[in-house]
């Protein structure tokens, strides 16, 4: 197991982060909402972008609608999880100064593992990211 830099011996490991990100992944819409809430609360706002799809009924009743895409930016790694017709579309991208150098579509489990690795790597370099990761693991 990989421990986070600066964390206590019982702090979040790569396995713990991956498990937190995989929770509730059987129902894609529920998973996207849980992930949006947990990442949105744990990470700085500039790292997480959420796109919503709102029906007319959602607008009329003041509801936020359904998550259509989550984008997480961690350095040069950009992880996106979109939902098209109830099917997850997960991508891992490498981006430099706003230019996408590579884009790879992956299965949801692979995406969660890649996201966990990127979060742990970011946390090893950044105290704010380490604190955010502890909140993510503790909140799930």
DSSP state string for 35-99 = HHHHHHHHS-GGGEEEEEE--HHHHHTT---EEEEEEEEETTEEEEEEEETTEEEEEEEEEETTE
Q: pLDDT grade, residue 12 (50/70/90)?
A: low
More confidently predicted of 74 and 86: 74
Q: pLDDT grade, residue 79 (50/70/90)?
A: very high
State the chain's mean pLDDT as an integer: 76
Q: What is the mean pLDDT of residues 25-39?
A: 70
Please give the order of strands across the beta sheet that includes 87-96: 48-53, 66-74, 77-84, 87-96, 99-106
Contact predicate 114/17, CB 8 Å = no
pLDDT at 122 over 50: yes
Out of 6-20, 29-43, 65-79, 92-106, which region has the weakest mean confidence (pLDDT)?
6-20
Residue-level pLDDT at 34: 72
Residue-level pLDDT at 93: 94
- Burial letters 22-53, b for 16+ CB under 10 A, else e: beebeebeebbbbbbebbeebbeeebbebeee
pLDDT at 27 over 90: no
Tell me the whole-structure pTM to 2 decimals. Answer: 0.70
Tokens of 41: 């609360």
For 3, 41, 50, 115, 116, the CA distances from 121, given in Å and listed in that order, are 10, 19, 22, 10, 9
Contact predicate 38/140, CB 8 Å = yes
Q: pLDDT grade, residue 65 (50/70/90)?
A: confident
Residue-level pLDDT at 66: 80
């Amino acid at each position: 197991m990989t421990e986070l830099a600066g964390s206590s011996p019982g702090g979040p490991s790569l396995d713990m982060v991956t498990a937190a990100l995989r929770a509730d992944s059987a129902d894609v819409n529920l998973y996207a909402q849980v992930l949006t809430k947990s990442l949105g609360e744990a990470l700085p706002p500039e790292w997480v972008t959420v796109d919503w799809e709102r029906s007319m009924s959602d607008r009329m009743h003041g509801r936020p609608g359904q998550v259509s895409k989550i984008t997480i930016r961690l350095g040069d790694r950009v992880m996106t999880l979109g939902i098209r017709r109830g099917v997850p579309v997960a991508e891992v991208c490498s981006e430099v100064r706003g230019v996408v150098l590579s884009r790879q579509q992956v299965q949801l489990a692979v995406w969660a593992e890649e996201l966990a690795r990127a979060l742990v790597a970011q946390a090893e370099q950044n105290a704010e990211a380490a604190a955010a990761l502890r909140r993510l693991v503790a909140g799930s």
